[in-house]
A and B are shown apart, each in its own frame.
Chain A
Amino acid sequence: MVEPIRLLEILGIIVVAAPALLVSFLGAPCLFSRQYAERTISKAIQATILFGLLSSLVILAVMLATGVRHVSIELGAWVVLGDFHFTIKFVLDRLSVPFVILTYVLTGTIAAFGSRYMHRERGYSRFFFLYALFVLGMALASLADTIETLFAGWELVGLSSALLVAFFQERPAPSRNGLRVWIVYRVSDAALILAAVILHHSTGRGDFDQLFGRTGSWPEGQASLTSSQALGVGLLLLLAAAGKSALVPFSGWLPRAMEGPTPSSAIFYGALSVHLGAFLLLRVSPILECSFWLSAAVVSLGLLTTVTALLTRSVQTDIKSALSYASLAQVGLIVAEIGFGLRYIALIHILGHACLRTLQFLRAPTLLHDHRVLENAIGAQTSGPSEAWDRICPRPIQNWLYRLGLERSYFDSFLMEVVVVPYVRVLRFFDDLESRWTDFLAGSQSREAEEVKTHSAFLEELP
């Protein structure tokens, strides 16, 4: 008879190993420019998700039955260099298990939906390879017990998401949007890794157990940081969460991410990855308790995101954008709940919201049909123009709010004007300066490369 802890450890490893194997299986042919048949890919994904989901459900059942609420799975040191240890460690607790179950339920649903939706689509295998990468990233991030492991999962989620946004790669818009998503994610990654390293150096510890000196399981715990340390590290973590969860001022990437195929936008941006920032804040919530100002910043950012997302949602004219902003409004609320210390409520909110939003996103392409069915069933219109706003809010303010919503609260323009344009302008200036300098040294025009024909013209000349 296997001991419950040992069983939990084995199952925990399966939960992570299954998508890792799937990535290897689907990724190997990429190196050889080969592809599996759709059926093979579909079967492999079904098997993986089934294994992962069943394992995580058994974990939940065993934990409920035995009363065990915290299991650390240490796979040993991946890298040991003197005092530097890089340990692969996972944790099964009240936060990670529900989140990983949610991951498998939603990704399983999407796999079933996507295998039909993407049938005979060019890039079927590419879609599911990126999907596998995403599942692996989510499983790693959900179960991570060290910041490095979480970071590895976090980055995999980021890359797969950005490439999925750019999935329809014959048009420039998805590629531009994919790049925008990647830039925001990279900023978020940078904040996370910096926070992780500073945490190491402040506390000398890297895994969450030791970091928060837990006597029990999540959400108990206390961070051994001073208020100012907590504020510094916490703000970096908040920046990381803001990028990943599209909180203000980074909200602009979320509707752009809808350029990707519906299955990926449904789970990746509507349901899972948009909650990953909130998950991070839940995981490090003991740090929030160390600083009042940090908690206040989390609450403010959450509420501000909710208000702006609601405003923007109300002026959207396409269903996927409206749903993405509706998602964002809820994510903002979840973040505010975390700031207020309502951790269980935030977790339940994440689980419920992710499931609801997945359903809505998947039904989005048939929205009009659904409405018609609903109206036929009830024998009346489902909604009409509301006059309540006219009584509460004067028309000029309504117009102003409408404009504000239409412009997405000017956050995109703000980032563009204050960060991107000056950044590009300054670097172009230096680029020109360098060009003049090398021209001067060479005594002639030194940059030929920018004057040569680009490939399309070049190919015309080939026999």
Chain B
Amino acid sequence: MTFLHIPWLECSFVLSLVGALYVSRLRDPNRASAAGLVFTGIVLACTMLAWLGFYFDPDASLSQWSLQTELLGREIFFIDRLSAPLVPMVALLHFLTALATARTKMRRFSFSWSLLAESIRLMTFSCKEPWILIALLIANSIPPYFELVNRRKPTRVYVLHMGLFAGLLVFGWAFVDPTQLHSTQTAWATIPVLAAILLRCGTIPVHCWVTDWFEHASFGNALLYVAPLSGVYAGVRLLLPIAPDWMLQGVGIISLVTAVYAAAMATIQRETRRFFAFLFLSHTSLVLVGLELVTSVSLTGALSLWFSVSLSLGGFGLTLRALESRFGRLALTDFHGLYDSSRALAVSFLITGLASVGFPGTLGFVSTELLVDGAVEANVFIGLGVVAATTLNGIAVVRAYLLIFTGAHHASTISLQLGIRERIAVWTLSVLILAGGIYPQPGLTSRLKAADALIAERKKLRLTDPTPAPPSESTRHD
């Protein structure tokens, strides 16, 4: 047994749960913040070690050292090619959010609920067992409810949507028999599951819960709930292996319409949170478009876009949150001229915002290229839609930048520059985004392997055309 064979993944679950319990007993916000930070940091370290263990020994079974084998008789939670970078990414987002929580926000941001949610999210992203995954996805939607209740905000929109999501998912999966699939059963099962996943991803016309959630939740929790794209994960694990081709094409079209619509809506928003919510919706839908095309290029593009979107929009959200903690909610109806008051935030806003739209030199560039390539390979009009969505997202990001940071002179007698903790969070994300943009090959190779594994799994279930998407003449040979 080596150091990497220690069950780090299980340790991360347990530590986040222990952390949630411990922090919930603390009444002083400063102590809660410090403890929350320590626990999220340790959990991040555990997930990184788990990921390293998988990276260095991906094929060898680690189950002989797993606590799960001892306790449950089988491994339910494990890292595979798809989830390998996603699990540490979730932990990183939690850690950076805790790190970048300003003193003014410490009372409002619940570190204990955040740690509990982290634990559920980590389990979700390392689980493939359908029923357990469904239970975790439903459990995942409970902490946000208490967040709204604790903040005395309206919960009806959220409860209605999440209730419907849970109901549809359970109802649909009850009809799924993955060992003996035939058409009638599949239709009964897949349509509710499809509807549930579209709802969770915020596809139009069932997207209003996302804007409502951003409207009422604390920005940190709102961000952590949506940024890892749990709905997309559910789609990959539950829908992709069983859905017939026509259904995936339908999902692709609906997602494409959502991507363009949400991007267009982001360009006209009058408030930063709604702007961010639409930007997020557009990106989630773009990832879904790539996933539903089920070609090697598009899947790789979508999976790498998923990672880049989570990181860049996570960073973008943290930047907006830092702005909010200094200036309150910002209207996008007038110029604020905050550049001189917070230069680092302006730089971070541009780097993370442009990375999310695939600007050259950032993490999202090659992902977006791959996605556009895969989309055009499938259909020129899908490619056109993807390009239109990224174009509009780019316009929305720079419009927001110009409105927030330029166009006026903002005078302040107090320093509004970033504190050291926020600065570390911003630097970490900026460095990851730029380094991933300059040297994207390792990340893309890992996503290609995950994409191939997904295609193989789908072929195995014989629900799709058994012949893989051939490398057509149109694939690149630069």
Contacts and interface: CB of A to CB of B under 8 A. Distances in A.
A120 interface: no
A170 B268 contact: no
Contact of B328 (A151, A431, A454): A454
Contact of B329 (A156, A190, A452): A452
Interface string A414-450: 0000000001100110110010011001111011111
Contact of A159 (B208, B212, B354): B354
B399 interface: yes
Given A31-B347, A169-B339, A201-B376, A155 B383 contact: no
B143 interface: no
A431 B328 CA distance: 23
B366 A431 contact: no
A198 interface: yes
A166 B339 CA distance: 12
Contacts of A182: 394-395, 398
B244 interface: no
B211 A438 contact: yes
A202 B474 contact: yes
Interface stretch (A73-81, A95-103, A292-300, A337-345): A73-81
A85 B335 contact: no
Interface residues of A, number: 78
A81 B264 CA distance: 32
Contacts of B157: 438, 441-442, 446
B471 A204 contact: no
Contacts of A206: 476-478
B402 A81 contact: no
A81 B445 contact: yes
Do most interface residues of chain A lie in helix, strand or loop, or is the interface mixed? helix
Contacts of A174: 406-407
Contacts of A204: 473-477
A452 to B, nearest CB: 5
A33 interface: yes
A446 B154 contact: yes
B369 A170 contact: no
A85 to B, nearest CB: 5
B369 A86 contact: yes
A230 to B, nearest CB: 16
A296 to B, nearest CB: 24
A87 interface: yes
A446 B216 CA distance: 9
Nearest to B375: A197
A290 B441 CA distance: 37
A442 B474 contact: no
B337 interface: yes
A245 interface: no
Contacts of B270: 450
B65 interface: no
A175 B412 contact: no
Contact of B478 (A89, A450, A452): A89
A194 B407 CA distance: 33
A217 B398 CA distance: 39
A428 B211 contact: no
B212 A446 contact: yes
Interface residues of B, number: 85
A87 to B, nearest CB: 4
A190 B387 contact: yes
A97 to B, nearest CB: 22
Contacts of A198: 376, 380, 383
B370 A81 contact: yes
Contact of A190 (B296, B369, B388, B476): B388
A32 B426 CA distance: 10
B372 interface: yes
Contacts of A200: 373, 376, 474-476
A447 B215 contact: yes
Interface in A38-88: 77-87
A33 B420 CA distance: 12
Contacts of B380: 198
Given A33-B344, A170-B337, A202-B474, A79 B366 contact: yes
Contacts of A156: 360-361
Contact of A169 (B154, B406, B418, B471): B406
B478 A83 contact: no
A422 B406 CA distance: 27
B448 A197 contact: no
Contacts of A159: 354, 359
Contact of A175 (B335, B340, B395, B471): B335
Given A169-B406, A455-B328, A78 B441 contact: yes
B156 interface: yes
A205 B394 CA distance: 28
A197 B412 contact: no
Contacts of B160: 441
B464 to A, nearest CB: 19
B10 interface: no
A169 B475 contact: no
A152 B160 CA distance: 45
Contacts of B31: none
B383 A194 contact: yes
Contact of A441 (B156, B327, B361, B369): B156
A171 B441 CA distance: 43
A120 B440 CA distance: 39
Contacts of A443: 154, 156
B273 interface: yes
A32 B348 CA distance: 10
26 contacts: A79-B440, A79-B444, A81-B300, A81-B444, A83-B476, A85-B478, A148-B369, A151-B360, A155-B359, A155-B360, A162-B398, A170-B407, A172-B335, A175-B403, A183-B395, A193-B369, A194-B372, A198-B380, A198-B383, A200-B373, A204-B474, A427-B265, A454-B330, A454-B331, A455-B329, A458-B329
* Interchain residue pairs A-B with the least CB separation, the first 5: A201-B474, A455-B327, A169-B406, A458-B328, A175-B407
